[in-house]
Structure 1
C-alpha cells in the first residue's frame, strides 16, 4: 500500500470535508482570489467557455468551481437517439455489467446492488446492462446533465466514506464507488429505467440537484430515500440535473437493450452532450 492510499484510510474524511466546505465559501477577497487563480493556473482551466470569464469576479471559490458555461459552449449530439455524456471529464471505465458486476479497475469490481445502496430489486433491471463512469477533475465543468430524457422517480442518499476518486485511489481501493457517500437518482425513460449516481469525493462530498437544492451535506448516517412519484419532474436530454461542489464522479447505469455504447477508452476525454452511445431501433 502506498502512502497516498494509506492516507485515504487514515484521514478524517468528514472533518476535512466540512472544513473545505466552509473555506470554499469564504468571500474574503485575498483568500478566494488566491484559490481561484491557483486552480486556473495549475489545471489550465478554460475560462473563455464560462458565462463569466473573469475568474476574480466570482463571489467565492465554490461559485467559480460550479460556474455556468456560455450557452454555445456545449451542444447535445444532434441525433435524438444518441446517449450523451452527463459530464465533462474522462472515462474511468465503461462497458457491460456482467451478472450484476461493474468493473472499477484492474482486479477491482463492485455490484450494481451495492452501488444502489444494497437494493437488489432496484439493481435487477441492470443485471446485464451497460455502465459508464466519468471522472471529473478540478479543471472540469462541474454541472451534470441528463444523458437521456427521464422522469425522476426516486433519489437515494447512501452514506459512506469519502475517499478520493482520483485514478490512483480507484485502482487501489476495493469497491470504492460502492463505499463513498453518494446520491442515486432513479429515472424512468421512454425505453425503461436508468440511473445517474453522483459519487462524492474527499474534500467536500457536496451535491446539489435542480429539483431539491443542496442534498449533501448533511452527511447521512443511514440510507435516506425520497420519492418523487406523481410530481412529474421530467428533464429533457442534455438538461442540467445537478452539480458537484468540488470534484467527483458520475456513474450511469442502463438496462440491457436500452443503448449500445460507442467504443470508449479509459482516460478518454468527454464533454457534456457528446455522444457516448445510441439507442437501437
Structure 2
C-alpha cells in the first residue's frame, strides 16, 4: 500500500512517505504489531512522555534533519531554524502573514490532505465495510449528532511535515471548546483504512461550534493522534472571528481537523468531491477555497 494524493496546485498524483512508515505498517497491518505494541502506543503516557522530550532545549538538534528529510519550506516561517527553543516550538511554528492567501468562500482551516463528503454515510463507504462510523460516537452527544446527521463532512489530515496551526474557515462567532478524552491512535491512512471508526471515535478530540450569518453552525473538531501531546486552542470563545484567524495548534505528531456543515448551505468544490470519490486525498493549504 502506498499513500497517494492529488497535489491541487499542480494536478499531479504524488506519493506521501511519512516518517516511521515501516513502523506504522507494522503497527496497523501486522497482526503481531496490532496485538502486542499498538495497545501501548495508543495510550496517553507515551504521547505525553514523547511530547515532553520534544519540549526540551536539546530537542532542537532534530530540527535540521527533519526540515531536510521532509522538504519543509522555512522561508514561510516567522523565525529561522536557529531561533527555535525546542522541537515543539519549531513544530507549531507560525507563518508569515503573506505566506497564505485567504481566498473567497469557505476555506481550508489548515495545510494537509483533504477528503470531502456530501453526506456522513459516504464516509463509511470510503473507509470501511465493518463497524459503521456514527456522529453519536464521534461527538459523544446524542442531541448534537441529531443536529448534524444530514451534514456534509470535510476531513483535513495533517502529516508531520505540514504547518500545524489551524484557523477558522469562515467569519463567525465560536463557542467554547468541548474536550473529549481518548486514545492516541495514528491518523495515517495505514491506520485509517481498516480502523477509521476506531480512530475517530476513540481518539482524544475536541470541538467548537462556529455560528455564521449565512452558513449555519459549522462544527470544527481537532482530533489528536499518536505522539500529539496537546491540542491547544488559542481563540477567545464568544468573540467574533474573521476567516483565517487562528483557532489553535497541535504539538508534535500527525493530526486531523473535521468539519461538519449543513449540506444545504454549502457547495463543496467539485474537484475535491471527485478526488474523494476516486479514493484520493487532495493536498490543500490554509486559506485555500474549498467550498462556497
Q: Relative to structure 2, which stretch is displaced further, 3-12 or 193-202?
A: 3-12
* Structure 1 segments of 4+ aligned residues over 4 angstroms from their partners: none
TM alignment of 1:27-176, pairs within 5 A = 27-28=57-58, 31-33=59-61, 35-52=62-79, 54-77=80-103, 79=104, 82-91=105-114, 93-98=115-120, 102-103=123-124, 105-107=127-129, 109-117=132-140, 119-175=141-197, 176=199
Q: Indicate how the Cα distance of structure 1 residues 202 and 98 shifts in structure 2: closer, same or farther if over 3 A, else same.
A: closer
Give unmatched runs, 5+ long, in structure 1.
Answer: 213-227
Are 2:275 and 1:252 aligned?
no
Aligned residues: 250
Aligned match for 2:221, one of 197, 204, 218: 197
Instruction: Name the SS of the counterpart of 1:18 in structure 2.
Output: helix
Retained in 2: the 8 A contact 1:97–1:126? no
User: How much has 1:9 moved relative to structure 2?
Assistant: 3.3
**Normalised by the size of structure 1, how large is the TM-score?**
0.83
**Structure 2: runs of 5 or more not aligned:** 1-24, 29-33
Counterpart contact for 2:228–2:250, Cα < 8 Å = no
The equivalent position to 2:239 in structure 1, one of 210, 233, 240, is: 233
CA distance in 2, matches of 1:126, 1:20: 36
Give the structure with the higher percent helix: 2
Match of 1:224?
Answer: none
How many angstroms apart in 2 are the aligned matches of 1:171 and 1:8?
A: 16
Contact 1:88/1:271 (CA < 8 Å) preserved in 2?
yes
* Residue 269 (structure 1) aligns with: 283
* Cα displacement (A) at 1:131: 0.9
Q: Please provide the CA RMSD for this pair.
A: 2.0
